[in-house]
Amino acid sequence: MDLTPVQDVKGALRNDFFHGYATAAPQVEGAWNKDGKGPSIWDTFGHTPGKVKDNSTADDAVRAYDFYREDVALMKSYGVNAYRFSLSWSRIIPLGGAEDPVNEQGIKFYQDLVDELLKNGITPFVTLFHWDVPQALEDRYGGMLNQEKFVPDFVRYARVCFESLPRVRHWITFNEPGVYSLAGYAAGVHAPARSSFRDLNEEGDSSTEPFIVSHTELVAHGHVSKLYREEFKEQQQGTIGITLHGNWSEPYDEEDPRDQEAAERAREFEIAWFADPLYKTGDYPASMRAQLGDRLPRFTPEESKLVLGSSEFYGMNSYTTFFVQHKDTPPDINDHKGNVHIHDTNSKGVSRGEESDTAWLRMAPGGFRKLLNWIWNRYHVPIYITENGTTAKGETAPTPEVLNDQFRIRFFEGYVGGIARAVKEDGVDIRSYFAWTFTDNWGKFSTINSSRSVTDKHRMGCWLL
């Protein structure tokens, strides 16, 4: 683990580097049915018995809707210069559709939040979609499973946002489109809770639907990006992109060519699935087509042209590293990882990192730096790190020792130090760092398949830079 004192990279980051926190509307706002807001698929999910392990809901969350001024004051006291948050589509257009009425109270909330941030010297980074499709659109036509109907609804929603928030200069269309697809349509443990597993979900097809939904997300992003660049960019002087998830995949046996290939294939299935169409080829990776065949949608020439180059930066959410080993057996029809084994230790017994309070999330700053280089070398676009952070063991019932938070301090020393070294020593163009997250929130690690729930209602600034 690279924990060299940060003094050796002092001054490595840009003078205009953005640093702050990231949140998501469904996890912090609360006020789920207040002032005209309509229900989202996450409201439905949280109110469906058995979907959330501890039966909690986001009805109140941490009440960011009511306490946004206090939140901004707290962020200012921490010295941040940026805040990434998402908009609730169903707060702005309660029924979601292109012909449905706009909720002026919902728009005013976000206008007031943006004004408060700017008044305090904090730059807003605004995400249009963080997994919360209006429930009305899910009911009408199946949400993102219907690209033809979804795209015009999303484009109209984006237009309303661009027109209503002209002071915003940094726009993100989708947050982690792959996680939305895989958790909601492959595993079925997130909204809208669809999969092939009938003991968990009544409907869905894990072998096809995640890829259909992801294709819709890419095409919808392309249309919204085109809208912004053609009608709003010149006047507002802003930028627009997308945020992708992805963790580093390290070969289980670094000397085995099969594991090296497996690790690269895993990176392609997880990251290049979206990034290659956006930044490199306008099409999905060949490794995905070889395994998935016609279950992977095909871009029309018009779609490929629309999507390629449509993101002006690489929005990067990343947390950890995994060891990846090849499989000799044919892939399962519901495999979404590239037909690989995933391990916590490598062939020599080396751990992938110190454990957190979340099973999959281990501290691995060395892999984080490798991933930054892999993305930069493959795509050569500026990187905005839009999420990174960790849980810590014992924090659900904190003791004085836990509140001292040495684990999280080490985590940030390693990861932020890795960013600085990637810039200074490797020449990677990195322009922001947003810690996940600003307050305790509902549900980031607490859906039905999780071992813990973060649903505290107190206000708590955490994970300081």
Kindly list the catalytic residues: 176, 387
Distances (CA, A) of 376 to 56, 172, 240, 250, 389: 40, 19, 18, 17, 21
Counted residue by residue, the chain has a size of 465
Task: Give which of 172, 271, 152 is closest to 216, Cα–Cα.
Answer: 152
Residue whose C-alpha is closest to residue 151's, from 56, 210, 223, 102: 223
Cβ atoms of 188 and 199 closer than 8 Å: no
Structure tokens at 139: 């009911």
**Burial (Cβ within 10 Å: 0-12, 13-18, ≥19) of residue 202:** exposed
**With contact defined as beta carbons under 8 Å apart, do 164 and 151 qualify?**
no
Q: Is 387 helix (H, G, I), strand (E, B) or coil?
A: strand
CA atoms within 13 A on the CB side of 258: 7
Q: Report the candidate in 405, 430, 427 with the shortest Cα–Cα distance to residue 416.
A: 430
Question: CA gyration radius for the chain?
Answer: 21
Q: Which residue carries 């305790």 as its tokens? A: 440
DSSP structural state of residue 435: E
Q: Is-contact 20 122, C-beta < 8 A?
A: yes
SS3 of 372, please? helix
- Considering Cα of 42, then 23, then 438, then 448, what sign does the dihedral take? positive
Dihedral pair phi/psi, residue 243, rounded to 5°: -115, 125
Q: Are strands 362-363 and 354-355 parallel, antiparallel or unpaired?
A: antiparallel
Helical ranges in 207-353 per DSSP H: 209-231, 233-236, 257-267, 273-275, 286-292, 301-307
Residue 177 C-beta-side C-alpha neighbours within 13 Å? 29
CB atoms closer than 10 angstroms to residue 148: 8
Count other Cβ atoms within 10 Å, centred on residue 120: 16
Helices (H) then strands (E): counts for the chain: 17, 13
